[in-house]
A and B are shown apart, each in its own frame.
Chain A
């Protein structure tokens, strides 16, 4: 996984706004950020750098889906 977890989120939405590829969204119930589209993470760390409480963990690996003949 590229962006791995968000722990201790305060719901400020900085990471949501700063993600260039729209990977993170605000959970309407918990009002906290959640990782919704991790496959589109480009591992640029902008979300982590904008997070004021250091809640985001990112790893350098990316599991690329296997190639299929249609999908």
Chain B
């Protein structure tokens, strides 16, 4: 499989702290890749670099053959690489439907010039967009909430809204930042099913930060483990699970906990 996303020796420091310290890995097209590691490993910082919220100090990030580490977030999103946030960013004082309608690229009605010069194209685009939004609301089961303020949704429902909103953009790569955090067990199953179905039916590639290891083992075919800003292991779930460096990173190194052997 070809690499859709290439992280090449990315470095990002804050003051004296190298939050990401030469991380490198690839995400294969059509795969579900999980990024795991203890707190402070640099996962979210790396995500922010990929999505364009932060600019790496060194290294390259290549998406679909194009270097993106110098592009602003909105340009990266338009290229087909879209992220969700750790705490789902529902736009609280807008309706659920408006949240979805927002996710459209090249909408002539979103430009003042388009509204004036191409009003008919703007209306047609808006009609098609509404239809698509209704479909996606049906898909994630939020159709009954279409006209409610997004701020009235539960945490789990916001994650579903976030996912549906990302799908509106027809992305090729989706970055999910802890999709399972704060989600009820019932919705977790639903969310996992959605992700698997989207990969299967639409060929969407996923890169997922997640602490829920059950979910990671079930969903991902490749796991990348980070610690202290570096990638310390990568591979299929079975091989990563047995990797000594990974066990050390999560549990502390053996030396620290070593007890003198009984005589």
Are A and B subunits of one complex? no
A: which residues have CB within 8 A of B?
Answer: none
B: which residues have CB within 8 A of A?
Answer: none
